[in-house]
Amino acid sequence: SSQPDVDIEPDYENNLSSYLLNVGMPAFEVSKEYTGSRVAGTEIDYSITITNTGNYASTTVHLIDILPGEFTYIEGAGTYSAGKVEWTIPEIEPSESVERSFHGTLSCEVGTVVINEHYRVDDSVQGAVTQDGDPVSFSIIAPTISAGFNVSDSSVEPGGTVSFSNSSSTNGTNLTYTWNFGDGGSASGTTANHTLKEPGVYEVTLTATDGCGFSDTEVKTITVKELKLFLPLVVK
């Protein structure tokens, strides 16, 4: 219940009743954690936990979180505006913990320290508030990109077509792919087909690039064979 306890002790001699008021008050603790890889440009989740450590329920609890500049908000259960997320929690009972979460993306600035330190309960009907919770911080790290591809043939006749299929991987954002076939031709996409017309040795290069501009390359050699002409032997 949200009502304080009242004990009534009657005083019959003075025709009075004395009231012993056990007035409770809510009190809050706030904490925060994140889940994510910390890789540049990737998504990360934050969750804030509010615990009522008092002996009285609190109503219309207003929670705010001012986000660091290296984080771009995507979505959550609260209301977002101008770098701040807000939640209104109808009621938190004594000893009850309530969690609110949201997620977004990190900046591409590797080495930047992301510090989230401005989150707190700033209002409630009973007047219980908190100071900012303990800072949550980490450094943004570079992705690990490994470019790779498979070829249908490493040696073909002149005019032969070679198929290329990407096998790259990353722990960062989605990759895009650019192919250079070594003869002036190029293409983009996860797979490619290319016809090599002239004899020679061609270095085919795949460049895998993520959304932050980080990249890796893989090079493989394709040989186009020399044509051998066999002239008929004429005997006079």
pLDDT (tens digit, 9 = 90+) per residue, 12-28? Answer: 555 555 555 555 789 99
* Residue 119 belongs to some domain of the structure: yes
Domain end, chosen from 74, 104, 139, is at: 139
* Residue 83 belongs to some domain of the structure: yes
One-letter amino acid of 201 = V
Q: How far apart are CA 229 and CA 171, in angstroms?
A: 51
* Residue 12 belongs to some domain of the structure: no
Asked if residue 156 and residue 124 are part of one domain, the reply reads no
Question: What pLDDT is stored for residue 16 in this prediction?
Answer: 52
Domain end, chosen from 88, 104, 139, is at: 139
* Residue 167 belongs to some domain of the structure: yes
- pLDDT of 4 over the 90 cut: no
Q: What percent of the chain has pLDDT over 70?
A: 87
Question: What pLDDT is stored for residue 60 in this prediction?
Answer: 97
Asked if residue 198 and residue 154 are part of one domain, the reply reads yes
pLDDT-based confidence at 228, cuts 50/70/90? confident
* Residue 14 belongs to some domain of the structure: no
Question: What pLDDT is stored for residue 230 in this prediction?
Answer: 60
Contact assessment for residue 172 and residue 147, using Cβ atoms and an 8 Å cutoff: no
Asked if residue 149 and residue 134 are part of one domain, the reply reads no
Question: What pLDDT is stored for residue 1 in this prediction?
Answer: 44
pLDDT-based confidence at 68, cuts 50/70/90? very high
Question: What pLDDT is stored for residue 22 in this prediction?
Answer: 53
Asked if residue 92 and residue 158 are part of one domain, the reply reads no
Asked if residue 134 and residue 31 are part of one domain, the reply reads yes
Q: How far apart are CA 175 and CA 189, in angstroms?
A: 10
Domain end, chosen from 139, 174, 191, is at: 139
Asked if residue 107 and residue 34 are part of one domain, the reply reads yes
- The residues near 206 (Cβ < 8 Å, ≥ 6 apart) are 147, 148, 149, 164, 166, 168, 177, 178, 179, 217, 218, 219
Q: How many structural domains comprise the chain?
A: 2
Asked if residue 165 and residue 98 are part of one domain, the reply reads no
Domain that holds residue 30: 23-139
Residue 27 has which token pair?
């009190």
Average pLDDT score, the chain: 91
Question: What pLDDT is stored for residue 6 in this prediction?
Answer: 46
- The residues near 147 (Cβ < 8 Å, ≥ 6 apart) are 168, 206, 207, 208, 215, 216, 217, 218
Asked if residue 135 and residue 157 are part of one domain, the reply reads no
- The residues near 194 (Cβ < 8 Å, ≥ 6 apart) are 161, 162, 164, 179, 181, 185, 187, 204
Sheet with 43-52, strands from edge to edge, namely 28-35, 43-52, 97-106, 71-76
